[in-house]
């Protein structure tokens, strides 16, 4: 199992999702090796979770920008439509007074 908890088939060298390099012990590791490995795993998990949170925040920020730009764009179209309407009304009124 990888850091991101995705199955990667039999004997992979690294995870295709999170990039975790799998470690294979040829013999039973001693306590120091196990402690180092566990620290590396914990560190990699924290980095991966951080990366996921940042990606989610970036996606939320982009969604907010798109929402704002849609509202702003609609406001511009509404203002332009009102401007065209006012121009048409003034033009129509000006034409009638000259008749």
Q: What is the pLDDT of residues 2-56, one digit of tens each?
A: 678 777 777 788 787 787 888 888 899 999 999 998 998 888 888 888 888 888 8
Class of residue 72 by CB neighbours under 10 A (exposed 0-12, middle 13-18, buried 19+): exposed
* Residue 31 confidence (pLDDT): 93
Cα 1 to Cα 18: distance, rounded to the nearest angstrom: 11
pTM recorded for the entire structure: 0.51
* Residue 4 confidence (pLDDT): 81
Cα 64 to Cα 70: distance, rounded to the nearest angstrom: 10
Helix (H, G, I), strand (E, B) or coil at 14: strand
Q: With 90 as the cut, is the pLDDT of residue 65 above it? A: no
Per-residue pLDDT band for 81 (boundaries 50, 70, 90) equals low
* Residue 83 confidence (pLDDT): 65
**What average pLDDT does the segment 49-74 reach?**
75
End-to-end CA distance of the chain: 86
Cα 77 to Cα 85: distance, rounded to the nearest angstrom: 12
């Amino acid at each position: 199992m990888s850091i991101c908890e995705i199955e990667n088939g039999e004997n992979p060298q690294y995870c295709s999702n999170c990039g975790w390099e799998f470690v294979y012990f040829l013999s039973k590791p001693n306590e120091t090796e196990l402690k180092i490995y566990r620290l590396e795993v914990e560190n990699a998990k924290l980095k991966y979770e951080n990366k996921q949170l940042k990606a989610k925040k970036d996606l939320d920020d982009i969604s907010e920008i798109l929402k704002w730009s849609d509202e702003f764009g609609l406001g511009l179209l509404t203002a332009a439509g009102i401007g065209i309407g006012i121009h048409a009304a003034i033009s129509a009124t000006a034409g009638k007074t000259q008749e």
